[in-house]
C-alpha cells in the first residue's frame, strides 16, 4: 500500500468516525455530558430538529463515498469548474438570487436580518434615520427589541438599526431598485471567485482551485447564507478580498486592503473582521521587509474607524439624547464573558453545526490541507484567521440564536474550502483514493444534502409565516401580533421606515386598544381573523396617502394613537 493510498484510507475512516461522533452527540445531549440548558429556544430547536436529521444523512453520504473508486469523472468535473470560474460565479449569483425568492421567500426571517433591511430602506430613501409618527413607537417596535435590534426614540420618533451600518449601505442600492434579493447572491458570486483565486494563487494549480469551488458550492452553510439577509456572507467575502489583496502586497493593494477592512469593520459590528485581520496585520508588523506596508494599511482603515465612531455617537444621540459612550461600553460588558459550562456547551453545539452544514469531512480535508502546506506563510495566516475567529467567539455569551450553520464562524468560513482544496493538490497520481472519496462526498452533498437542507429552510419559513395567516389580496391588511402567542412571532413585527408597505404589522396592546387604534384611524376596517399569534384586520380600499414630494409613493398615517 502506497503512502498516498494510506492517507486516503485514513481520511475515509476519520470521516466516518466524525459522522458517528456527531450522531453520538445528539444521543448524549441532555442525557450525558452535553446540555442545552441556557440555549435560546430557536437555537435548540434548529439543532435538535433539523441538524440531527442532517447528521444521519451526512454519515450515509460518507459511507456511500467509501465505495466510490472512479476518480476519472470526478477529476473531469473538477477540471471543468477550474476552467470556468467567472461563469460559475455568475451562475452562482443567479441561482442564489432565485433561491432568495423561492426558498427564503424574500423575507428577513430573523431580527438580525430585518435590522439591516430596515436601515437599508432608510438609506435608499435618502435619509440616515426614520422619522416615525408621534406616539407610535411602541406599536411598531416590539418591547425588548428597542435597543437590541432597532433603536427608536419614543420622544422624537427617530429610528435606526442598532447594528453598525456597513451592510445596510451595501444593501441600500438593491433596495432602491426594489431587488434586495440580488444583494447577498451577488456577494456570494464574488466570494466564489475569490475562493478560486486565492486557492490558485497558493497552489499554482487550476484543478485545486476547481476543488475549492466544488467544496464551497456543495456546502449548505455557504448556500444558505447566500440566499438569506444575514450580513455574514458579506463578512466572508470582504475578509477573502482583504486576504487576496495582502497575499501579493504592494502599496496600492495594501491601501485597498485597508479600505476593504474599513467596510468590513462596519458591516454589522467590528469583531468578525478584527478577529480575521489580526494575524495579517501582525505578520506585516513583525516582518521587517513588510513593515513599510503597515502605515498605508492602517491609513486605509481610517475612514471605517471614523464612520464607526460617528455611528456610535449618532446612535447614542437617538437612544439617550446625548453622547454616552459609557452605554456602549456597558453593551460590550454584557456581550463578552469568560467561558463557562454553558458557553462551552454552546460552542460544542456550534462545532456540530459547522460539520453538518458543510460537505461531510470538509473540515478534515481542511486540516489535512493545512498540514500538507503548513510551510506556506499564506496558508498559516488563513488558518490563524479561522482559528482565532472560532476561539474569539468562545468569549461571547450568546449561542447565536437563529442562523444556518454556525454563523459566528461564517466570516472566516471561506478559509475552509481553500485549505481543503490544498489537500487535493496533486504531487503524485497515486493518490486516487483521496480524490474518489473527496469528490464523491462533495458531489453527493451538492446533489442531495444541499437540496435537503434548503427544503428544511423553505419549510421552516413557510411554517413560521403561516402562524399569522396570509394577507388578503388585493387589499390592505393590519396585523396585531401577540408576542407570546406563537414561536418567535415577535420577529414578524416588521415595517417599512416610511410605512409604505401595503400591510401593517403592529405590536398588539390588547383587544380593546387595538380596536381603538383601528376605529380612529381606519374606520372601514373589519376584523377577519384571530388566533394565538395575531389578529388580522382588512381594509377594502387603500388607506395610504401620497407622500409629499413622492407622489408615486403612499404611506400609512396615524391620526390617533391610544395610550
- When pLDDT is averaged across residues 357-375 and rounded to a whole number, the result is 95
Containing H/E element for 324?
none
> What's the confidence (pLDDT) of residue 507?
96
pLDDT value for 550: 82
CA distances from 513 to 139, 149, 313, 370, 486 (A): 11, 25, 36, 62, 21
312 confidence band (pLDDT: 50, 70, 90): very high
Rounded to an integer, the average pLDDT of 378-387 is 98
> Residue 236 has what pLDDT?
98
Q: Judge whether residue 325 has pLDDT over 50.
A: no
Would you state the pLDDT for residue 217?
A: 98
User: Residue 317: its pLDDT value, please?
Assistant: 86
Q: Which tens digits make up the pLDDT trace of 260-275? A: 999 999 999 999 999 9
Region 369-376 average pLDDT: 94
Q: d(Cα 260, Cα 229) in Å, to the nearest integer? A: 20
Distance CA 438, CA 415 (A): 17
Burial class (CB in 10 A: 0-12, 13-18, 19+), 53: middle
d(CA 210, CA 199): 9
Q: Which residue has the cell 463578512?
A: 235
pLDDT for 323 beyond 90: no
pLDDT in tens, 337-361: 888 899 999 999 999 999 999 999 9
Give the integer Cα–Cα distance in Å for 27 and 4: 35
Strand partners, 506: 480
Say whether pLDDT at 134 is over 90: no
**Residue 430: per-residue pLDDT:** 53
pLDDT over 50 (residue 420): yes
Whether residue 229 contacts residue 117, with contact meaning beta carbons closer than 8 Å, is answered with yes
pLDDT of the residue at 399: 93
Q: Give the span between the Cα atoms of 33 and 29, in whole angstroms.
A: 7
What are residue 505's DSSP bridge partners?
479
- Give dist(CA 239, CA 420) in Å, integer: 18
Predicted pLDDT of residue 4: 47
* C-alpha cell read off for 404: 444556518
Pairing of strands 550-555, 545-547: antiparallel
- Whose cell is 449548505? That residue is 220
Closest by alpha carbon to 141, among 468, 490, 401?
A: 490
pLDDT at 319 exceeding the cut of 90:
no
Percent of the chain past pLDDT 70, that is, above it, reads: 95
pLDDT surpassing 60 at residue 464:
yes
Residue 324's pLDDT is 44
Q: What are phi and psi of 481, to 5 degrees?
A: -85, 130
More confident site: 217 or 427: 217
- Mean predicted confidence (pLDDT) in 381-386: 98
Q: Supply the pLDDT for residue 320.
A: 60
Q: How far apart are CA 250 and CA 237, in angstroms?
A: 21
pTM of the model: 0.94
With cut-offs at 50, 70 and 90, classify the pLDDT of residue 330. very low
Rounded to 5 degrees, what are φ and ψ at 559? -95, -15
Average pLDDT over residues 430-443: 88
What letter does residue 132 receive in the DSSP assignment? P
- What average pLDDT does this structure show over 140-147? 92
C-alpha closest to that of 359 among 444, 301, 300, 259: 444
Q: How far is residue 304 from each of residues 260, 268, 440, measured CA to CA in Å?
A: 9, 12, 43
pLDDT for position 552:
85
pLDDT at 475: 75
Give the model's pLDDT for residue 428.
55
pLDDT surpassing 70 at residue 326: no
pLDDT at 6 over 80: no
Residues making up the chain, counted from first to last: 563
Please name the residues in contact with 418: beta carbons below 8 A apart, sequence gap of 6 or more: 195, 198, 199, 202, 212, 369, 382
Q: What percent of the chain stands above pLDDT 90?
A: 82
Specify the range with the lowest mean pLDDT, choosing from 14-18, 336-340, 409-413, 427-431.
427-431
Q: What is the mean pLDDT of residues 484-498?
A: 94
Phi, psi of 345 (to 5 degrees): -65, -40
pLDDT band with cut points at 50, 70 and 90 for residue 376: very high
Supply the pLDDT for residue 301: 96
pLDDT, one tens digit per residue, over 25-84 is 999 999 989 999 999 999 999 999 999 999 999 999 999 999 988 999 999 999 999 999
CA distances 319 to 176, 537, 541, Å, are: 27, 32, 37
pLDDT at 536: 95
Taking 60 as the threshold, does the pLDDT of residue 250 lie above it?
Answer: yes
The span from the first CA to the last CA of the chain, in angstroms, equals: 80
> With 70 as the cut, is the pLDDT of residue 3 above it?
no
How far is Cα 518 from Cα 562, in angstroms, rounded to an integer? 10
The arithmetic mean of pLDDT across residues 302-318, rounded, is: 92
Strands 476-481 and 504-507: parallel
Q: What is the mean pLDDT of the chain?
A: 92
In this predicted structure, what is the pLDDT of residue 84? 97
pLDDT tens digits along 500-539: 999 999 999 999 999 999 999 999 999 999 999 999 999 9
Model pLDDT for residues 80-91, shown as the tens digit of each residue: 999 999 999 999
Amino acid at each position: 500500500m502506497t503512502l498516498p493510498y494510506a492517507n486516503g484510507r485514513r481520511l475515509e475512516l476519520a470521516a466516518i468516525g466524525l459522522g458517528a461522533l456527531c450522531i453520538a452527540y445528539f444521543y448524549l445531549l441532555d442525557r450525558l455530558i452535553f446540555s442545552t440548558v441556557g440555549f435560546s429556544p430557536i437555537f435548540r430547536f434548529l439543532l435538535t430538529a433539523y441538524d440531527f436529521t442532517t447528521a444521519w444523512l451526512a454519515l450515509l453520504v460518507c459511507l456511500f463515498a467509501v465505495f466510490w473508486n472512479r476518480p476519472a469523472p470526478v477529476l473531469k468535473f473538477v477540471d471543468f469548474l477550474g476552467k470556468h470560474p467567472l461563469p460559475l460565479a455568475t451562475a452562482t449569483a443567479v441561482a442564489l438570487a432565485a433561491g432568495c425568492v423561492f426558498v427564503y421567500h424574500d423575507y428577513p426571517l430573523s431580527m438580525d436580518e430585518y435590522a439591516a433591511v430596515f436601515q437599508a430602506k432608510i438609506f435608499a430613501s435618502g435619509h440616515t434615520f426614520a422619522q416615525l409618527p408621534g406616539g407610535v413607537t411602541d406599536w411598531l417596535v416590539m418591547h425588548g427589541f428597542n435597543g437590541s435590534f432597532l433603536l427608536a426614540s419614543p420622544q422624537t420618533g427617530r429610528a435606526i438599526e442598532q447594528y453598525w451600518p456597513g451592510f445596510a449601505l451595501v444593501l441600500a442600492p438593491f433596495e432602491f431598485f426594489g431587488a434586495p434579493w440580488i444583494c447577498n447572491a451577488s456577494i456570494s458570486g464574488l466570494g466564489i471567485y475569490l475562493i478560486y483565486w486565492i486557492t490558485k494563487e497558493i497552489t499554482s494549480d487550476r484543478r485545486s482551485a476547481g476543488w475549492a469551488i466544488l467544496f464551497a458550492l456543495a456546502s449548505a452553510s455557504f448556500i444558505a447564507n447566500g440566499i438569506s439577509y444575514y450580513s455574514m456572507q458579506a463578512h466572508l467575502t470582504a475578509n477573502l478580498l482583504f486576504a487576496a489583496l495582502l497575499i501579493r502586497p504592494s502599496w496600492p493593494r495594501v491601501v485597498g486592503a485597508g479600505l476593504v477592512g474599513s467596510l468590513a469593520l462596519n458591516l454589522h459590528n467590528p469583531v468578525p473582521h478584527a478577529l480575521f485581520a489580526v494575524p495579517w496585520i501582525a505578520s506585516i508588523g513583525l516582518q521587517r521587509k513588510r513593515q513599510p506596508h503597515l502605515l498605508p494599511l492602517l491609513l486605509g482603515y481610517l475612514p471605517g474607524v471614523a464612520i464607526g465612531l460617528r455611528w456610535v455617537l449618532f446612535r447614542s444621540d437617538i437612544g439617550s439624547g446625548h453622547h454616552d459612550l459609557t452605554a456602549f461600553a456597558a453593551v460590550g460588558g454584557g456581550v463578552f464573558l469568560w467561558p463557562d459550562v454553558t458557553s462551552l456547551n454552546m460552542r460544542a453545539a456550534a462545532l456540530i453545526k459547522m460539520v453538518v452544514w458543510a460537505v461531510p469531512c470538509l473540515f478534515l480535508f481542511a486540516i489535512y490541507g493545512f498540514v500538507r502546506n503548513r510551510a506556506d506563510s499564506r496558508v498559516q495566516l488563513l488558518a490563524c484567521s479561522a482559528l482565532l475567529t472560532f476561539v474569539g467567539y468562545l468569549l461571547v455569551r450568546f449561542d447565536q440564536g437563529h442562523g444556518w450553520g454556525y454563523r459566528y464562524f461564517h466570516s472566516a468560513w471561506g478559509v475552509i474550502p481553500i485549505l481543503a482544496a490544498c489537500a487535493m493538490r496533486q504531487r503524485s497520481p497515486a493518490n486516487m483514493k483521496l480524490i474518489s472519496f473527496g469528490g464523491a462526498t462533495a458531489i453527493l452533498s451538492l446533489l442531495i444534502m444541499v437540496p435537503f437542507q434548503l427544503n428544511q429552510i423553505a419549510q421552516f419559513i413557510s411554517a413560521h409565516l403561516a402562524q399569522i395567516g396570509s394577507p388578503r389580496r388585493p387589499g390592505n391588511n393590519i396585523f396585531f401580533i401577540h408576542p407570546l402567542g406563537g414561536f418567535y412571532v415577535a420577529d414578524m413585527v416588521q415595517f417599512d421606515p416610511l410605512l409604505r408597505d401595503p400591510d401593517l404589522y403592529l405590536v398588539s396592546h390588547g383587544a380593546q386598544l387595538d380596536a381603538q387604534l383601528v376605529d380612529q384611524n381606519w374606520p372601514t376596517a373589519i376584523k377577519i381573523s384571530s388566533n394565538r399569534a395575531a389578529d388580522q384586520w382588512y381594509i377594502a380600499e387603500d388607506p395610504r396617502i401620497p407622500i409629499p414630494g413622492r407622489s408615486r409613493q403612499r404611506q400609512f398615517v396615524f391620526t390617533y394613537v391610544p395610550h
